[in-house]
Structure 1
Amino acid sequence: MSSQSWQVRVLGSGVGSGFLVTQRHVMTCAHVMDGADHAEVTFAQHPDLGPFRATVIAAGEWCGTGEDRGDVAVLELERPVGVAPARFAAVNTPFVREAARLTAYGFPRGYDEGILGEFRSTSDQTIAGEWLQLEAWTSHGPPLEEGFSGAAVVREDTGEVVGMVTARYAMGGGGRMLPARALVRRWPGGAGLVPVPDHGRDSVSHLRDLVLRCEKHGDPEAVYRSVMEPLVPLPPPPPAGGFLSLWDVAWFLLTEVDPAPGTAPWADFAVHLAGRTEDSAVRNALHTWAADHRAGTAPQATVQARPTPTGGPRWSPILVEIEHSGADRDAYVVSVHVVRSGRAQLVASSTVARQHAQEWVREHLDQAFGQIDREGEELIAFAVPGDWLGEPVDEWRTGADDAAPLGCSSPVVLMDLGRRRRSRLQFKLEKAWQTLDRRAGSTDWHRVACDSPSDPAKLTVRLQGLETAVGYGTHPLTEQARGLLRAGLNAAAPVIVWSREGCSGPHGDSGRAGHPCTGAAFLDALERGLASVPLAELPRHVRDLRRDAYLAAEPQPHWATGLVLVWEDPRWFPEAPIHPQSPVR
């Protein structure tokens, strides 16, 4: 396809221009839409593609006059298009000089196929802190006129976008443009599209995602002053209206502030936000981002890699995280990651209702298998909130056309999401596994009987430092049983096992007619069947037990029916970056 094939004609409430910025998103002016929710988009260089229906998904604060700020609209096409998107210049690219010829592609009346205009910007002084002035390159070239609104302003020598046309002057052939910096203020989704010197695209996008999770935490200007007051002199905030959002503060610090040597205000900002959020995952991720950006440069990955264990199986982990979204009582944020080279990489994330979680995970596990390390054995871990620990995820269907239980197809383990988010317990778990790596021989199992009267706090103290597996005789359905399970989690027990079959028989060592209760029988079988198995290899052996239980033909259920395995070695499961549904998706 030809260069600049991303130019489009936008038919909203009127006719304007626009430009493709992702495979599915177009930028144009808000006044081109003027209240319309949908537009018809056609590609100037590729009329054969036909018109696309597009929906407005974001807009600035433009209200109806040429003097209004925020004259930005983002359209989402009905389907992705096979056209290379526009490429933005770095946010501080110099173009205000005589030799920098700028072009814009518009659709004035009578030119449905479009027309190319040539312009210059002779000053980097913004008008009211918002616009840059455009002038005609020559007196005989096409002037800016109706139909150019929303056109990308492009450096002719590089083909990079530096801004967007928003207005024309009645005389002189010139007008105004919003620089790329101003576009991203209004649309955070563009954060990863406009390069920022000394900060990688993924790094800026990651900060954007975290900040959007914190938007309710504080007045933007107050946050800015709290962060910047120790750095004298205080750079003034944007004129005429101040900060639009916390994201606007972050973007301003990244692109407008020239920090003094040895300072990194963007990192101070991240730490400040971390101290205001109650979400421990976001808080930890902000601290990690700040630590990685103290020098003002960003590594390609923003999560510190953990060394993987040298002994035991070599796993190729897939991590499924499920957490309450806060949007609705039945809504959950479900994310799938693969772990490669000690780092968690996002495969997909979405907010779904609980009854749809199984189907969503099943669809995206296939994607994860396409990205895992082929040298290891798959290990699927579900990190879930406490009220999901009883969910039979190992019994979920393997595929839409494969009814076999997932836990029979692959090793499947559970992790408690609350424990995973507590740094103290993760530290203790790592230490426990380091001790287990050095320990040879059989595995000790600590039994918690189904009729245990233990005080949960005392059980936590009793289990601390044992570096052993804990078996429970009953399914945690009662308040007492849930308290005892929480005791094992709080003690950083690396392995916890119970059966969803629960205990329905009499309690005691002998039970009725010399038969132990089902809970005691389960614990006996657990010790007989798994005492010789190293804990590092337990997921594989539990998969085999689940297969045996599923295929068992005897009248009585196999002892491993409904077996639940909480198995957590943090060295295999580093903290996953926070990726809420991105504005670019």
Structure 2
Amino acid sequence: MNFEPEWHARIAAAASGSGFLVDDLHVLTCAHVVGDRPDATVSFLALGRDHAVPGTVVFRGPWRPGDGEGDVAVIRLDEAVPVAPARLAPLHGVDIFDGHDLAAFGFPSGYTATGQISYFHADPQPRLAGRACQTRALDRRGFVLREGYSGSAAYVTGSYEVIGMVISADRAGPNGSGSGVILPVDELNRQWPQLAERIPLGPFGAGPYRELRDILQDVDLPDAHTLRLSVFSGPDAPPIHRRPLPSVLAVVESVAVLTTHSKERVSELVVQLLREVAKRAPHRRNDLHDWTGRHGWGIDPAVTGGSSVDTVARQAWVVVRVASTGKSRRLHTLTIWTATGPEGELDELVLDSMEVSRAKVQSLVQEKLPLAYARIPRSCETIGVEFVLPRGLLGWDVENWVAKGDPVPLGWKGPVVVRDVDWFDSAAPHEIQKRARKLGEHPGTLDTTMRWLDCASTEPEPDRFTPWLWLDDTPVALGLAGRWAAEQHVHQAVASGVPALLWRRTACDPHPEPTTTCPGSRFHRDMAERLRSLRSDQLPGQIRKLRVESGLNDDPEHCGRHVTLLWDEPRRRPVQLGVAE
């Protein structure tokens, strides 16, 4: 038979079901298909009947039997497959393609070897329990949704854009209604936010689309339904939707994906539409003009090439979170993620909240690091390790730890930074996010961005350090040396929300010779000189280079020795994740 898209997947786990490939390593399916299993077997008809790929369940939504809420799971394949992934519709895809014929490729009883296609319509409104959408069979005499379709993609016939995932179907037998339930793309993305990195917008890549969502999220125009008239006229205009689209963003999405023009022409139409939005939403005018200037006249090659998100990512991180259990000062919970997306967001859970004594943290981290590295695509050029620690442990020499079986210190192999666990877990991290954005947007280099305090500094006075940190012109990158590198001042700076903090974990002689320069002042001088011409985003990589240089240098006062860099990435914060290794 002809199974046109190759990304349909057959899943064998707690139950038999379906799934679909979203990049060359990840398959989406239903949580009830994988059940409590930590692993699954995935096969693709395009690769041959006997070609099965094992995989690990790396995410499971908060699904419970009898409840469609959170019925989403993600399987990471043990090896990449040579299959083009599904093309995901934009977040309002179920609204944009309202009335279009949809299909799902499943593996019902009697067709587990070949698969079978079911055709239906989906009702975008009202949402069932506020989340899912009901479907209606196009022809009840044909193949209706039933057991074996769970986890299959609901896609637009002809274009094969995926607008959702089948999670349940009418079980009333051959004479039933033929109805089913799908989770639309926006709900899949809400459950597994990493999906956003796989969603393009017509000719635009996932990155520009994400930026546009941020810009338009608060734009509410009463006459949004008329926006299309500003760019379309005559017979080439797409048909009017049966129901008004729910937002300005949905109107823009529809222009990007519903036209049959060339990619270049679609890009021009979107630019024209956004210029019209800018006229009606002046508070977003500058942002929209900036977006169209950067993205409006070029096409993201990653979109047209059918490559996965892994080919885009170049910098990956392993995120190690150590937090107090509240039971004992010496007992902690240890969690480890990978972060491989282009925006640096948390990706896959490697170890989930294991209780461990403080004395065992290092050995367990070193044991689990090879497993985390194995989860990171080979296309990533560098891998850093980010330690999220309680404030009292920020001075750990984590850059000197090693992965099991590898004698090279972590701080030599890649960037190693620390973060404060209270800010990482905070439900309202607005202050540190604001300062981190300010740091990232600063056009200059670190010689103008970074402020230093050392033994020779007289302002501020130590007992006025905390209010100084809250001044309007407080630095967003701060270096502490000598007496200012004492734990008390480090904690004060971290508590204020400074997103970039550099200090050396050695004290100055309290009674230096009058003719000598104290080590703190020398550290300040040497480090500031080595950083002065860099942008802020180059700081973690430069500190790695200086750590390696210190290993080649016999000077005990080399600025790369015993140095800690606190570096807060505001986009990398915990989301609800599921199954652990």
Q: TM-score, normalised on structure 2?
A: 0.52
Distance 1:499 1:127, change over 3 A: closer
Q: CA deviation at 1:335?
A: 6.8
Q: Which residue of 1 aligns with 2:75?
A: 76
- Map residues 137-536 of structure 1 onto 2, 5 A cutoff: 142-144=142-144, 147-150=147-150, 151-162=152-163, 164=166, 166-167=169-170, 170=173, 175-181=178-184, 184=187, 188-189=191-192, 191-192=195-196, 201=206, 258-259=246-247, 329-331=332-334, 345=344, 354-355=361-362, 356-357=364-365, 386-397=391-402, 403=407, 421=432, 423=434, 436=447, 446-447=454-455, 455-457=462-464, 471-472=481-482, 476=486, 482-483=488-489, 486=492, 498-500=504-506, 502=507, 507-508=510-511, 522-523=519-520, 530=526, 533=529, 536=532
Q: Which residue of 1 aligns with 2:27?
A: 25
- Contact in 2 for aligned 1:69/1:130 (Cα 8 Å): no
- Contact in 1 for aligned 2:133/2:183 (Cα 8 Å): no
- Contact in 2 for aligned 1:409/1:543 (Cα 8 Å): no
Distance 1:121 1:146, change over 3 A: closer
CA distance in 2, matches of 1:184, 1:91: 11
Q: CA deviation at 1:134?
A: 0.3
Q: Which residue of 2 aligns with 1:546?
A: 550
Q: CA deviation at 1:136?
A: 2.0
Give the 3-state SS of the residue equivalent to 2:138 in structure 1: strand
Match of 2:572 among 555, 567, 578: 578
Give the 3-state SS of the residue equivalent to 1:19 in structure 2: strand
1:578 counterpart letter in structure 2: R
Count of aligned pairs: 461
- Contact in 1 for aligned 2:340/2:376 (Cα 8 Å): no
Gaps in structure 1 of 5+ consecutive residues = 210-226, 234-254, 265-289, 303-315, 553-557
Distance 1:472 1:177, change over 3 A: same
CA distance in 2, matches of 1:207, 1:20: 26
1:48 counterpart letter in structure 2: D
- Contact in 2 for aligned 1:347/1:367 (Cα 8 Å): no
2:29 counterpart letter in structure 1: M
CA distance in 2, matches of 1:542, 1:40: 45
- Contact in 2 for aligned 1:136/1:172 (Cα 8 Å): no
CA distance in 1, matches of 2:500, 2:121: 64
- Contact in 2 for aligned 1:101/1:157 (Cα 8 Å): no
Q: Which residue of 2 aligns with 1:224?
A: none
- Contact in 1 for aligned 2:17/2:107 (Cα 8 Å): yes
Post-superposition Cα deviations, 1:526-564, rounded to whole Å, max 9, x if no partner, equal 58x849956627969965872465x47xxxxx4459944
Q: Which residue of 2 aligns with 1:107?
A: 108
- Contact in 2 for aligned 1:447/1:471 (Cα 8 Å): yes
- Contact in 1 for aligned 2:527/2:559 (Cα 8 Å): no
CA distance in 1, matches of 2:35, 2:478: 66
Q: CA deviation at 1:154?
A: 4.5
1:4 counterpart letter in structure 2: P
CA distance in 1, matches of 2:315, 2:37: 47
Q: Which residue of 1 aligns with 2:49?
A: 47
Asked which structure has the greater CA Rg, the reply is 1
Distance 1:387 1:167, change over 3 A: same
- Contact in 2 for aligned 1:12/1:39 (Cα 8 Å): yes
- Contact in 2 for aligned 1:203/1:300 (Cα 8 Å): no
Q: Which residue of 2 aligns with 1:243?
A: none
Q: Percent identity?
A: 13
Distance 1:34 1:261, change over 3 A: closer
Q: CA deviation at 1:132?
A: 1.8
Q: CA deviation at 1:484?
A: 7.7
CA distance in 1, matches of 2:324, 2:284: 28
Gaps in structure 2 of 5+ consecutive residues = 224-242, 253-282, 296-313, 327-331, 355-360, 424-428, 534-541
- Contact in 2 for aligned 1:522/1:559 (Cα 8 Å): yes
Q: CA deviation at 1:27?
A: 2.4
CA distance in 2, matches of 1:293, 1:565: 41
Q: CA deviation at 1:170?
A: 4.2
Post-superposition Cα deviations, 1:457-489, rounded to whole Å, max 9, x if no partner, equal 269869999999753159736xxxx24884799
CA distance in 2, matches of 1:347, 1:29: 20
- Contact in 1 for aligned 2:104/2:154 (Cα 8 Å): yes
CA distance in 2, matches of 1:91, 1:60: 22
Distance 1:136 1:385, change over 3 A: same
Give the 3-state SS of the residue equivalent to 1:456 in structure 2: helix
Give the 3-state SS of the residue equivalent to 1:390 in structure 2: coil
